[in-house]
A = this chain, B = another copy of it.
Amino acid sequence: MDLIPELAELSRKTPSKILLVVLDGVGGLPREAGGPTELAAARTPSLDRLAERSALGLFTPVAPGIAPGSGPGHLAIFGYDPLRYRVGRGVLSALGLGIPLGPDDVAVRGNFATFNPDGTVKDRRAGRPPTEENRRVIEKLKSRIREIEGVRIELYTESEHRFVLVLRGEGLGERVTDTDPQATGVPPRPAEPEDPGDEASARTARILNRFAELAREALKDEPVINGVLLRGVSKKPDFPKLPEVAKVRAAAIASYPMYRGVAELVGMEALELSDFEEDPDRPRAKLEALRSAWADYDFFYLHFKKTDSKGEDGDFEGKVERIELFDALLPELLGLDPDVLLITGDHSTPAVFKAHSWHPVPVLLRAPYLRNDAARRFTEDEAARGSLGHLVGPVLLPLMLAHAGKLQKYGA
């Protein structure tokens, strides 16, 4: 479902302010049947009071059964159907590392791999090397491969076997096949343009094949990491931008590069955060940034990461603690008196699942013009009884805009 073109038609500029809070991966699961989820186990007096005068519901960002990555989950929250507004793997990885990409640049997701002497793939992930080892090999490659066909080659460590390759130059295309054969015992595939007539992609493919060859040469004496596999060749997509779509000045307040990057893809400005805190989520720095920017924007995306990280770690209590930490910040957010406040997650990350999951995420909407609501707390079970029902797909944006008085009637 793509509502972006309609929203661009219907939206109008108003002075009302929208605050969108994303508690990353906040949805959870009970540890045992009938037990509380992380949200239900948390002591959240402020959220509880807020829930009583809010509308609640459940939100499935992509589709039932689909566990979204951070990119698709956030795009769905921002109103962009991730099945339609695609971001390549290379670009997503580059965003995650905070690598700036220009419109002509091409980003590629790389795996360090182990090749057999006959040139077939032995291990697609080179035994998942420590990230330090990745860094060492990246330095080696950087010193030997700087440019191919006049295009600048940039290399960045991601983690373990993963790295990012960026090509900077003119006349590059992104419609290029992966070299990763997704199997062992076979040689890597050559990168090829998807359409042989596409000169720019043919050139990119040629450069990538040459890069893989040079990497094999440079790494020929390495015992484990002796080659690369490349995939997700992509350019930064040119999406319609929120300031035009929704007639808002939109600011992103997030500390991790991935979230800043996805927000910038849809036209938000990622605000600078002061760096005085131990906590990697930097909640105080975020609040400070929000307060100083409050007069200058109409739409604020405020991201907290650690609910997801604790879920990924399988740390139920740690996730509960991060929820409680947010609860303690909530009065300060309410103090700004946003016209519309929406709190949700980009997906569930139940501690018992230790990974992103497909379970719907609770949504809380505090705004004018709400219906009565049976839900009493911001938990999965209560949200299932909420007046917003079960929202599927990129529908939170129109809902926020409508409650903020920013959407005109559709049709006469």
Q: Which residues of A contact B (CB under 8 A)?
A: 1, 3, 6, 10, 29-30, 33-35, 37, 53, 58, 62-72, 82-83, 87, 89, 92-93, 96, 350, 352-353, 355-360, 369-372, 374, 380-381, 384, 387, 389-392, 395, 397-403, 407-412
**Which residues of chain B are near A65, meaning CB under 8 Å?**
395, 397-403, 407
The answer to whether A64 touches B395, judged by C-beta atoms less than 8 angstroms apart, is: yes
Closest residue of B by beta carbon distance from A380: B371
**Which residues of chain B are near A353, meaning CB under 8 Å?**
369
The answer to whether B410 touches A62, judged by C-beta atoms less than 8 angstroms apart, is: yes
What are 20 A-B interface contacts by the 8 Å CB criterion? A6-B66, A6-B83, A29-B370, A33-B370, A35-B372, A58-B389, A63-B398, A64-B398, A65-B401, A65-B403, A66-B398, A67-B410, A69-B409, A69-B410, A357-B369, A358-B398, A358-B399, A358-B402, A359-B369, A380-B387
**Which residues of chain B are near A407, meaning CB under 8 Å?**
65-67, 358
Give the shortest distance, in Å, between A364 (CB) and chain B (any CB).
15
How far, in angstroms, from A78 to B34 measured CA to CA in the complex?
30
**Which residues of chain B are near A71, meaning CB under 8 Å?**
411-412
The answer to whether A70 touches B412, judged by C-beta atoms less than 8 angstroms apart, is: yes
**Which residues of chain B are near A391, meaning CB under 8 Å?**
64
How far, in angstroms, from A371 to B155 measured CA to CA in the complex?
43
